[in-house]
Amino acid sequence: MLETLKWTDSGVLFIDQTKLPTEEIWVTCSKYEDVADAIRTMIVRGAPAIGVAAAMGIALGARDLDVTCISEFRNGFGQICRLMGETRPTAVNLFWAIRRMQRRFEEVSGRPIPLIKQALIDEALNIYAEDIATNRTMGANGAPLMPEAGGVLTHCNAGALATAGYGTALGVIRAAVEAGKKIHVYADETRPFLQGARLTAWELMKDNIPVTLISDNMAGAMMAQGKIQAVIVGADRIAANGDTANKIGTYSVAILAREHGIPVYIAAPFSTVDLDTPDGSGIPIEQRAATEVTHLGGKQIAPTGVLVENPSFDVTPARYIRAIITERGVATAPFNESLRKLGQTKAATV
Ligand code: MRU
């Protein structure tokens, strides 16, 4: 299985996603500040992977705290969690993972410091292992929704690289292919950061899953030509009513799909569902640097000084979404009810 990140005694290791697909380089983050930088600069990216990375970064920082009493530990731990929380605002998995590490800290805070440190490392490793299991279960839940044969369009990268392994949207595709379905993936290149071109195409080709790369503005034409039977994407945050934030451009794809009568599926772990946010208007959208738009591969492609907008995510209203696939089951409209119900159930494991 393709690996994205791992915990070692010398630090947290990441495959550098800014260098793929031309270079496969692993970087070692030996300090928690380096892990925060890796998240901010998108060496590691994708909502679930950001959560796992943050948990490992927190465990690393806590392990290296040079403290003699619990109140010093608590101060240092708080500082580490704060820094992690300032890396990227949209993927709720980041805050979910930080909360989970904080809860674990509170549970074990009465123990001797070396045992607290070990408990936090164990918790980060649990989050890592659970993410892979969650993706497999999501794959099993979503595979029946994929066409027996035909084209499936995806946007951005919701694959192994965006998680601890296997992927969410690409996990569903992998499970469908493993079940014998003849799926051909259409990968939007995903301007401006090109996660589709650089990452989705790369990881699917590694798995010998048929994939055709298209630029984002070709999606409508592919649909009109009957080449797309379903759309499946991941999510960074799903509001209680089903409105879903995902990579910029997802909203346009969903509208195109509606026009062509093509179902849109979201695949995401339940940790991406934010029941405290009633609808998409409350989801914070990250704005990234203008140079991501004005430059391509380090080369300037727009006039110096041009005004630029670069929202990294958009919100697809729930009415465009056929179903939300999670490890706890598949939610359909009305999502306010179905998501809340899933919130009360436990995941069935495959
Ligand atoms: O900016 P990114 O690359 O972190 O954005 C990633 C996405 O939008 C993914 O589709 C989403 O996080 C789901 S990943 C399983």
Q: What domains are there in the chain, each with its CATH number? A: 5-136 (1.20.120.420), 142-343 (3.40.50.10470)
H or E element in which residue 103 lies = helix 92-108
- pTM for the model: 0.97
Q: What is the pLDDT of residue 349?
A: 46
- What is the average pLDDT across 82-87? 98
Q: Which residues line ligand 1 (CB under 6 A)?
A: 45-48, 91, 156, 158, 162-163, 168, 195, 233-236, 246-247, 312
> How do the residues of the chain divide into helix, strand and coil, expressed in percent and rounded to 5?
45, 20, 35
Residue type, 37: D
Mutation pick for ligand 1 pocket among 4, 41, 45 (CB with most ligand atoms within 8 Å)? 45
Q: Residue 8 Cα, ligand 1 centroid: separation in angstroms?
A: 25
Q: What is the pLDDT of residues 286-298, one digit of tens each?
A: 999 999 999 998 9
Q: What is the dihedral of CA 200, 205, 207, 209, to 10 degrees?
A: 90
109: helix, coil or strand? coil
Asked if pLDDT for residue 346 goes beyond 80, the answer is: no
Q: What is the pLDDT of residues 236-258, one digit of tens each?
A: 999 999 999 999 999 999 999 99
Helix axes 32-40, 47-63, angle to 10 degrees: 160
Instruction: Tell me which residue of 26, 36, 33, 29 sits closest to 4, measured CA to CA.
Output: 26
Q: What is the mean pLDDT of the chain?
A: 97
Please give the share of the chain, as a percent, with pLDDT higher than 70.
99
Asked if pLDDT for residue 338 goes beyond 50, the answer is: yes
The ligand 1 atom at the shortest distance from the C-alpha of residue 246 is 8
Strand 230-233 relative to strand 264-267: parallel, antiparallel, unpaired?
parallel
Active site residues: 236
- What is the average pLDDT across 15-32? 98
Quickly state the pLDDT bin for 350 (edges 50, 70, 90): very low
Q: Residue 43 Cα, ligand 1 centroid: separation in angstroms?
A: 13
Q: What is the pLDDT of residue 348?
A: 52
Residue 310 vs residues 101, 129, 251, 287: alpha-carbon distances, Å: 32, 34, 15, 6
The ligand 1 atom at the shortest distance from the C-alpha of residue 312 is 1
Mutation pick for ligand 1 pocket among 92, 156, 166, 172 (CB with most ligand atoms within 8 Å)? 156
Q: Residue 75 Cα, ligand 1 centroid: separation in angstroms?
A: 32
Q: What is the pLDDT of residues 122-134, one digit of tens each?
A: 999 999 999 999 9
Question: 316 CB contacts (<8 Å, ≥6 apart)?
Answer: 243, 244, 245, 246, 250, 251, 254, 264, 280
Q: Residue 260 Cα, ligand 1 centroid: separation in angstroms?
A: 25
The ligand 1 atom at the shortest distance from the C-alpha of residue 169 is 15
Name the closest-CA residue to atom 6, ligand 1. 46
